[in-house]
């Protein structure tokens, strides 16, 4: 733990206990708290250190040694106590803990189970004859709250097991990132304040009985045990089986577990290998579609667990290795308004600097004005800020109950901050009325980039010359430039002119997905442009698609589809000019969808050597693939009938591992995913190589 303070005296200790009790009560009552996880954990450690030094001053209301800090309540008794876990925060603390476990049992632990620690609400799901009959929260560990009204609305928690067994599955209910965003949309549409974070959103939503709406949540099982009426033979198997076998059995019964995710549980023999697995999971954290706040390590064998025993609050054979916090509370100081290359006006939050996940965060994304209004953000608000890995920090929500009354409304711009023109506010993302012309230099520089038209020699400074000289007003004008026009520009000789014109001529042969990406259609990027091009095969088919047809492309929903269709209509004149200039408007290896619309639910592609495969590329390519950018590799995969992906999972068919391939290669090996070298992959797709 970092930034721990020393509690100086009894008065400060009493205040610390009061703060911790209030924070726990707020969280367990309504799913919200004035303290983020990191601050709460730090406060508990400070209290524990003071109490260890002053045992005669320990207050009865202290959260130390109590499940849920003593704040949670419930009236449904647990068959077996549902305890919390103690925490460690470093490799040194973990090594000390494992040594203490092995001293307690008098020998090395036989095997360790290592799993991600899901950031949600612990519940017990009781099944009788295979049917889900009751859901109970952890509560105070001995009794919990009945939340059976949640049966049927939690993904991954089936109402009927695959076999008619009587038992209890324990696990965590949480919201994925996508579920959290949708939950906040639904909640604010019904007049509520946004949830502060996914954890509090799941906790509050599972307890809510009388809401006019429901929100999606997901269950992850982490344990299984008998009930009082479980048949003796089954009860004995549940009590004596290794934890890893139980979790495999939970999955077989149809309950969702971490084994179905990108970070499955694993059993290893030594603490050193546990530490290696901890580092692997921590490295995957940023790319996960759900939150984890640590890693859970357990003695795998039931015999080891029984010998290690239990404390009053936590088992002595399991520990939570907490990772650095990825969310903190800080102050919203100001809002900046920036204009992108397509004319979109994007707000950015300036924050009181706060340390998150090892870096200082001073700015965060705010998406759009509608998002600011929906979240009811105000200058001076205390806000929950989220950051994971290299992802741009974002504001999740204001902590409304911390408002003082001095907060001020955020002022929206009345004219474009870039050029002073009017603003089109007809959509959630506001846009300068001049559109791409507001930031023409940025738009053209992007279009000429390596992963778009790849026009070598057309960098930002050259684009500025073309724009200021009145030679180009859109992307299509690049293809009508003449040698005379270029030679008239400063620092343009005959050689550089010839080279640029040659590069522009070569750009005419780029595949359709590159042209589409270069147009900068809102709602698309490199991968989405590839999907659209592969689905429709020709620009004519793309332009002829309505919103319903556009939604047939993977990843395009009901909100994005009409925006893309409208953008293509707006770009009609530019596209016509590109066609007239001889720019390619077809996608290699793809065929247009049927005229009657049948078959549009699948990309219109011909079979290739990677047909139906999901392929991940990692490391540096060599040999015939050495000159290809990652975008070009993804294009190659899709022309061969495959689907490119950036992350390895059980659904991955093939990993192309080049020089320096690291964690993705290791994960592929762990999951049994097929690995291939760049040379072998080049042979596989030889007919499609440039």
pLDDT in tens, 268-288: 999 999 999 998 898 888 778
Statement: residue 337 has pLDDT above 90: yes
Given this model, what pLDDT does residue 340 score? 80
Predicted confidence (pLDDT) per residue in 24-34, tens digit: 766 555 445 55
- Of 412 and 689, more confident: 412
CATH 2.40.50.140 fits 614-688, yes or no: no
CA atoms within 13 A on the CB side of 290: 26
Residues catalogued as catalytic: 117
Burial of 161-172, coded b for 16+ CB within 10 Å and e otherwise, reads beeebbbbbbbb
Predicted confidence (pLDDT) per residue in 373-402, tens digit: 888 899 999 888 887 655 678 887 787 767
Here the tokens at position 588 are 């290699």
- Of 296 and 314, more confident: 296
CA angle 441-574-506, nearest 5°? 75
> CB of 654 within 8 A of CB of 685?
no
Question: d(Cα 478, Cα 174) in Å, to the nearest integer?
Answer: 51
Predicted confidence (pLDDT) per residue in 80-117, tens digit: 999 888 989 889 999 999 999 999 999 999 999 999 99
- Of 166 and 372, more confident: 166
Given this model, what pLDDT does residue 423 score? 93
Predicted confidence (pLDDT) per residue in 74-83, tens digit: 678 998 999 8
Predicted confidence (pLDDT) per residue in 593-625, tens digit: 765 544 444 444 456 889 889 999 988 899 999
Q: Helix crossing, 512-519 with 572-580: angle to 10°?
A: 140
- CATH class of the 76-322 domain in this structure: alpha beta
Question: d(Cα 459, Cα 482) in Å, to the nearest integer?
Answer: 18
Closest CA to 597 of 555, 557, 634, 548: 548
Q: Which of 6-15, 160-169, 189-198, 614-623 has the highest mean pLDDT?
A: 160-169
The DSSP symbol for 590 reads: B
44, with CB counted inside 10 A (0-12, 13-18, 19+), is buried
In sequence order, the 6+-apart residues with CB closer than 8 A to the CB of 505 are none
- CATH class of the 327-424 domain in this structure: mainly beta
Kindly report the average pLDDT of the chain as a whole number.
86
Here the tokens at position 578 are 């590109």
Q: Tell me what the mean pLDDT of segment 172-178 comes to.
A: 90
> CB of 349 within 8 A of CB of 337?
no
CA angle 495-498-499, nearest 5°? 85
What is the second-level CATH architecture of the domain 10-64?
Orthogonal Bundle (1.10)
Here the tokens at position 211 are 């809401």
Burial of 319-335, coded b for 16+ CB within 10 Å and e otherwise, reads bbbbbbbbbbbbbbeeb
Given this model, what pLDDT does residue 603 score? 43
Instruction: Kindly report the number of other CB atoms within 10 A of residue 71's CB atom.
Output: 20
Given this model, what pLDDT does residue 241 score? 96
H/E element holding 396? strand 394-398
Q: Tell me what the mean pLDDT of segment 580-600 comes to.
A: 75
> CB of 642 within 8 A of CB of 610?
yes
Q: What is the domain partition of the chain in residue ranges?
A: 10-64, 76-322, 327-424, 435-507, 614-688
DSSP helix/strand/coil, 386: strand
Q: How confident is the model at residue 590 (pLDDT cuts 50, 70, 90)?
A: confident
Q: Candidates 1.10.3210.10, 1.10.150.20, 1.10.3720.10, 2.40.160.10; correct CATH number of 435-507?
A: 1.10.150.20
Statement: residue 407 has pLDDT above 70: yes
């Amino acid at each position: 733990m970092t930034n721990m303070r020393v509690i100086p005296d009894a008065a400060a200790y009493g205040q610390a206990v009061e703060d911790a009790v209030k924070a726990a009560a707020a969280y367990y009552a309504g799913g919200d708290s004035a303290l983020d996880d990191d601050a709460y954990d730090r406060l508990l450690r400070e209290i524990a250190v003071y109490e260890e030094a002053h045992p005669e001053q320990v207050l009865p209301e202290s959260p130390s040694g109590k499940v849920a800090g003593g704040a949670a309540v419930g009236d449904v008794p647990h068959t077996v106590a549902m305890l919390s876990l103690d925490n460690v925060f470093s490799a040194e603390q973990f090594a000390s803990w494992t040594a203490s476990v092995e001293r307690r049992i008098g020998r090395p632990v036989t095997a360790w189970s290592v799993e991600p620690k899901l950031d949600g609400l612990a519940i017990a799901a009781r099944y009788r004859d295979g049917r889900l009959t009751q859901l109970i929260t952890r509560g105070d560990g001995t009794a919990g709250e009945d939340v059976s009204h949640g049966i049927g609305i939690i993904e991954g928690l089936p109402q009927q097991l695959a076999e008619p067994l009587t038992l209890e599955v324990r696990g965590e209910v949480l919201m994925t990132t996508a579920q959290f965003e949708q939950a906040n949309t639904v909640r604010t549409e019904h007049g509520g304040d946004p949830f502060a974070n996914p954890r509090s959103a799941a906790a509050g939503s599972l307890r809510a009985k009388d809401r006019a709406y429901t929100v999606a949540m997901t269950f992850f099982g982490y344990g299984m045990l008998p009930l009082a009426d479980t048949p003796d033979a089954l009860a004995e198997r549940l009590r004596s089986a290794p934890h890893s076998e139980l979790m495999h059995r939970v999955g077989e019964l149809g309950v969702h577990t971490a084994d179905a995710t990108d970070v499955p549980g694993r059993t290893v023999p030594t603490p050193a290998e546990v530490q290696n697995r901890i580092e692997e999971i921590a490295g995957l954290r940023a790319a996960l579609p759900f939150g984890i706040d640590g890693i859970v390590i357990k003695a795998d064998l039931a015999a080891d667990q029984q010998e290690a025993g239990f404390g009053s609050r936590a088992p002595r054979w399991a520990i939570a290795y907490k990772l650095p916090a990825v969310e903190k509370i800080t102050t919203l100081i100001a809002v900046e308004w920036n204009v992108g290359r397509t004319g979109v006006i994007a707000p950015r939050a300036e924050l009181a600097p706060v340390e998150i996940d090892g870096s200082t965060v001073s700015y965060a994304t705010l998406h759009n004005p509608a998002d600011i209004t929906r979240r009811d953000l105000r200058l001076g608000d205390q806000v929950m800020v989220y950051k994971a890995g290299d992802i741009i920090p974002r504001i999740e929500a204001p902590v409304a109950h911390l408002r003082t009354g001095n907060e001020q409304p955020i002022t929206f711009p009345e004219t474009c901050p870039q050029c002073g023109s009017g603003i089109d506010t007809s959509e959630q993302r506001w846009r300068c009325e001049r559109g791409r012309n507001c930031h023409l230099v940025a738009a053209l520089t992007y279009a000429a980039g390596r992963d778009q038209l790849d026009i070598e020699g057309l960098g930002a400074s050259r684009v500025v010359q073309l724009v200021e000289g009145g030679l180009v007003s859109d992307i299509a004008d690049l293809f009508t430039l003449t040698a005379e026009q270029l030679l008239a520009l400063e620092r343009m000789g005959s050689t550089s002119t010839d080279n640029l014109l040659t590069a522009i001529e070569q750009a005419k042969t780029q595949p359709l997905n590159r042209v589409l990406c270069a147009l900068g259609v809102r709602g698309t990027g490199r991968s989405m442009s590839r999907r659209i091009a592969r689905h429709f095969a020709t620009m004519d088919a793309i332009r002829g698609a309505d919103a319903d047809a556009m939604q047939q492309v993977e990843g395009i929903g009901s909100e994005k589809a009409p925006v893309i269709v409208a953008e293509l209509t707006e770009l009609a004149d530019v596209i016509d000019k590109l066609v007239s200039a001889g720019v390619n408007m077809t996608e290699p290896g793809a065929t247009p969808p049927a005229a009657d619309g049948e078959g549009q639910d699948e990309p219109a592609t011909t079979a290739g050597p990677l047909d139906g495969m999901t392929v991940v590329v990692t490391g540096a390519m060599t040999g015939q693939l050495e000159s290809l950018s990652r975008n070009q590799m993804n294009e190659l995969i899709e022309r061969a009938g495959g689907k490119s992906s950036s992350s390895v999972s059980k659904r991955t068919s093939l990993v192309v591992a080049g020089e320096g391939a690291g964690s993705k290669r290791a994960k592929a090996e762990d999951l049994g995913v097929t690995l291939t070298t760049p040379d072998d992959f080049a042979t596989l797709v030889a007919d499609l190589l440039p």
